[in-house]
Amino acid sequence: MPDLIAPHGSDTINPLFVADPAQNAALATEAETLPSVVMSSAGAANAVMLAGGYFNPLKGFMDRADALSVAENMTTAGGLFWPTPVLNLVAEARGIAPGSRIALKDPNVAGEPVLGVMEVTAIETFSDDDMALLTQQVYGTMDAEHPGVAAFNAQGRVCLSGPVQVLNFSYFKTEFPGTFRTAVEIRDAIARNGWSKVVAFQTRNPMHRAHEELCHLAMDRLGADGLVIHMLLGKLKPGDIPADVRDAAIRKMVELYFPPDSAMVTGYGFDMLYAGPREALLHAVFRQNMGATHLIVGRDHAGVGDYYGAFDAQTIFNDIPEDALKIKIFEADHTAYSKKLHKVVMMREAPDHTKEDFVILSGTRVREMLGRGEAPPKEFSRPEVAQILMDYYQGLDG
């Protein structure tokens, strides 16, 4: 069996989920007696990522010093490379003191059940300057219209830091039982498959022909023996396609257009930051933790609107220390179907083409077509995938 890539920052992966049933039950019982806070959706997503080993080697939520250091230097105060703060921000913390054990309540599940138990080592309030620095450095903008900026600044300013023990995976295991996987589970599956070179593909959207061919292209050029399609299952911005619809569309594509046992369709529980370059680095960190050796980073990876340059999410990898990460990136250009070559290509590799030589459709145009029950051209979208999306969009109008 091949050796897997080491997790980030440690020799072995340390998920913070309490897997022992007796210990889990005892903590759940203790949680009923503890002071509690209802987390933000982003804080709960951070807990789920910590639970699954994705945020290895972190032991819990960052304090102010770590958060500001990560924002400014992309390292914790102790020197660990980390691109985005992992915080538990709340509006207030009445009745809680440093040294307290508290129950963390899940805002995304009916009844706000306990998600985890946290030992509070510090309670700090971020100033206006702190929030401005964190926002500008992580998101590259202070614009309140940016969905990540808006979500971050709406959480509250009281920072609860300290180690956490997580009791469950929020709604992800129940709503997406066939897709949600922890970093530990994906790492184990990669080992069972005997894959040694593994490509990860990040998506928050359905995959059309260009995405599909990009995965094939990366695997071929890297000599990879496995692909992990890893979709975000958490909160998105309005208008994005729900995870269950994406899941069905991607599974159909893999079933019909990838060789058997060459691709795994999985998902992770996190709220999208839309932080562009910084989020691309975070994607690399947790893909290394799940066992991928390469991550496809395309145009405007993890971006939104016009906040980031087309290739900023690739060039930021040149700005970090060479030994910061073991995972490598596969730099992808915009891909499109070439009418001249009768196949999908990376546009930069077709310098003799004009725009008219490609089949290019905007997201808005595709949504309009699907909503009318009209399939996009077969060069753009596989018909079987388009049918699933058409059913969804037409259901919105029903």
Domain boundary among 148, 171, 194: 171
Q: Is residue 192 part of a domain?
A: yes
The boundaries of the domain holding residue 353 are 174-397
Domain boundary among 171, 188, 214: 171
**pLDDT score for 246:** 92
251 catalytic, yes or no? no
Same domain, 208 and 272: yes
Q: Is residue 14 part of a domain?
A: no
Same domain, 93 and 230: no
Counting every residue written for the chain, the total comes to 398
Structure tokens at 215: 């995965």
This prediction's pTM? 0.95
Same domain, 165 and 305: no
Same domain, 269 and 391: yes
- The dihedrals phi and psi of 252, each to the nearest 5 degrees, come to -65, -40
Same domain, 290 and 376: yes
Cβ neighbours of residue 72 under 8 Å, at least 6 residues apart? 133, 137
Catalytic residue among 204, 209, 372, 382: 204
Same domain, 220 and 341: yes
* CATH code where residue 146 lies: 3.10.400.10
Q: Between 383-397 and 243-257, two packed helices, what is the crossing angle to 10 degrees?
A: 160
Q: Is residue 194 part of a domain?
A: yes
Same domain, 111 and 235: no
Number of domains in the chain: 2
**pLDDT score for 1:** 60
Q: Which of 398, 361, 367 is nearest to 380 (CA)?
A: 361
Q: Is residue 215 part of a domain?
A: yes
**pLDDT score for 123:** 98
Same domain, 215 and 246: yes
pLDDT tens for each residue of the chain, 398 residues long: 668 999 999 999 999 999 999 999 999 999 999 999 999 999 999 999 999 999 999 999 999 999 999 999 999 999 999 999 999 999 999 999 999 999 999 999 999 999 999 999 999 999 999 999 999 999 999 999 999 999 999 999 999 999 999 999 999 999 999 999 999 999 999 999 999 999 999 998 889 898 999 999 999 999 999 999 999 998 777 777 888 899 999 999 999 999 999 999 999 999 999 999 999 999 999 999 999 999 999 999 999 999 999 999 999 999 999 999 999 999 999 888 999 999 999 999 999 999 999 998 777 788 888 889 999 999 999 999 999 999 998 888 65
Q: Which residues pair with 337 in a beta bridge?
A: 344, 359
CA distance linking residue 253 with residue 259, whole number of Å: 11
Contact 60, 160 (CB under 8 A): no
Name the DSSP class of 146: S
H-helix or E-strand spanning residue 391? helix 383-397
**pLDDT score for 181:** 98
Q: Is residue 199 part of a domain?
A: yes
Same domain, 244 and 166: no
Same domain, 259 and 391: yes
Domain boundary among 171, 201, 232: 171
205 catalytic, yes or no? yes
Q: Is residue 122 part of a domain?
A: yes
Same domain, 189 and 293: yes
Looking from the CA of 53 toward its CB, the CA atoms found within 13 Å total 24
Same domain, 138 and 198: no
Neighbouring C-beta atoms of residue 34, cutoff 10 Å: 16
* CATH code where residue 381 lies: 3.40.50.620
Catalytic residue among 14, 24, 193, 205: 205
Q: Is residue 1 part of a domain?
A: no
Q: Is residue 127 part of a domain?
A: yes
